[in-house]
């Protein structure tokens, strides 16, 4: 075992949950993502309907929506918001299905956890959170990015019109979307029932705003695109204020810490078990 593993173990099992998996190829943040394979995209594009939303800024936001299986009018369903990485930005409304979508669309998983899954697409020249990815720490921007603000308006509209259980709105994102996840839970305090940021980073000074929120954070300790210190500092700050946040750090894994996360049945069991107590 490495000295890093030993140090983490001394912090306590609640602080670091280490999962041993094979070393994966590191990917640059700007090249996280290739378009889905043709055979896969046909099935996913049938399940994830292409849509467009126009908020108060009047700039169209493209997104994909998977409805709950066996949807019944009048019933309220959980909603999962998925924020993609930097390489999936654009306006093709297809590449966003590369990561995570096939896992949420698994037939048995949909039967067990019927829910909405919303996958918005960030334009090429924007981010989910306007911070510098190369830094080892950063501060919360004063205002939300235009894309994140529009996503929040979309969710608010769905809560009002689409039979969304507002006590069970979940947020997860990878890489650039991991940054967006930390940003959103600090900015929209009390809105989400749980959050799962993957290989991202946030502002440790903001943790008091979500110290009681169920959080499961993931990162690879060999990540060179987003340094693992970004997740460690957030977990350290959360633990300092008594948060029950969970942390999984994958030894030897580079930037792809999402594949093992989204394929793990325990992740979904944990996620869908969370519910806002005030509702």
Confidence at residue 37, expressed as pLDDT on a 0 to 100 scale? 38
- Give the pTM: 0.85
Q: Using CA atoms, how far apart are residues 101 and 154, in angstroms rounded to an integer?
A: 19
Confidence at residue 278, expressed as pLDDT on a 0 to 100 scale? 65
In a domain, 13, yes or no: yes
Confidence at residue 41, expressed as pLDDT on a 0 to 100 scale? 52
Residue-number span of the structural domain to which 127 is assigned: 3-273
Count of CB atoms situated within 10 Å of the CB of 16:
19
Burial class (CB in 10 A: 0-12, 13-18, 19+), 212: middle
Q: What does the block give as tokens for 111?
A: 């039967």
Specify the CATH number for the domain of residue 43: 3.40.50.1820
**CB contact at 8 A, 99 and 85:** yes
Q: Using CA atoms, how far apart are residues 115 and 80, in angstroms rounded to an integer?
A: 7
Residue 236: helix, strand or coil by DSSP? helix
Confidence at residue 24, expressed as pLDDT on a 0 to 100 scale? 36
In a domain, 144, yes or no: yes
Q: What does the block give as tokens for 28?
A: 């640059």
Mean pLDDT per 10-residue section of the chain, whose length is 279 residues? 36 38 36 40 85 95 96 95 97 93 96 98 96 93 97 97 97 98 98 98 98 98 97 98 98 97 98 86
In a domain, 73, yes or no: yes
Confidence at residue 69, expressed as pLDDT on a 0 to 100 scale? 95
Q: How many domains does the chain have?
A: 1
In a domain, 236, yes or no: yes
Confidence at residue 277, expressed as pLDDT on a 0 to 100 scale? 82
Confidence at residue 187, expressed as pLDDT on a 0 to 100 scale? 98
In a domain, 142, yes or no: yes
* Nearest in space to 99 (alpha carbons), one of 198, 222, 221, 207: 198
In a domain, 14, yes or no: yes
In a domain, 279, yes or no: no
In a domain, 278, yes or no: no
């Amino acid at each position: 075992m490495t000295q890093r593993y030993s140090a983490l173990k001394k912090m306590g099992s609640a602080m670091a949950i280490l999962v041993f998996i094979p070393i994966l190829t590191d990917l640059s943040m700007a090249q996280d993502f290739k378009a889905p394979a043709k055979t896969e995209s046909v099935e996913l594009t049938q399940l994830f309907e292409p849509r467009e939303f126009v908020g108060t800024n009047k700039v169209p936001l493209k997104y994909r929506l998977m409805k709950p299986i066996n949807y019944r009018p009048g019933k309220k369903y959980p909603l999962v918001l998925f924020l993609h990485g930097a390489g999936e930005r654009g306006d093709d409304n297809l590449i966003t299905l590369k990561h995570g979508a096939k896992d949420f669309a698994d037939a048995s998983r949909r039967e067990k956890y019927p829910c909405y899954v919303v996958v918005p697409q960030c334009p090429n020249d924007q981010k989910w959170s306007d911070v510098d990815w190369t830094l080892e720490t950063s501060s919360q921007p004063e205002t939300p990015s235009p894309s994140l603000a529009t996503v929040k308006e979309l969710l608010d509209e769905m809560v009002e019109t689409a039979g969304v259980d507002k006590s069970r709105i979940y947020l997860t994102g990878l890489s650039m979307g991991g940054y967006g996840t930390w940003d959103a839970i600090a900015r929209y305090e009390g809105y989400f029932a749980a959050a799962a940021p993957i290989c991202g980073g946030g502002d440790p000074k903001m943790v008091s705003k979500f110290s009681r929120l169920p959080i499961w954070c993931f990162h690879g300790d060999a990540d060179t695109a987003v340094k693992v210190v970004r997740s460690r500092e957030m977990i350290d700050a959360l633990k300092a204020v008594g948060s029950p946040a969970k942390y999984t750090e994958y030894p030897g894994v580079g930037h792809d810490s999402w594949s093992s996360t989204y394929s793990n049945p325990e992740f979904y069991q944990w996620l869908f078990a969370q519910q806002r107590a005030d509702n």
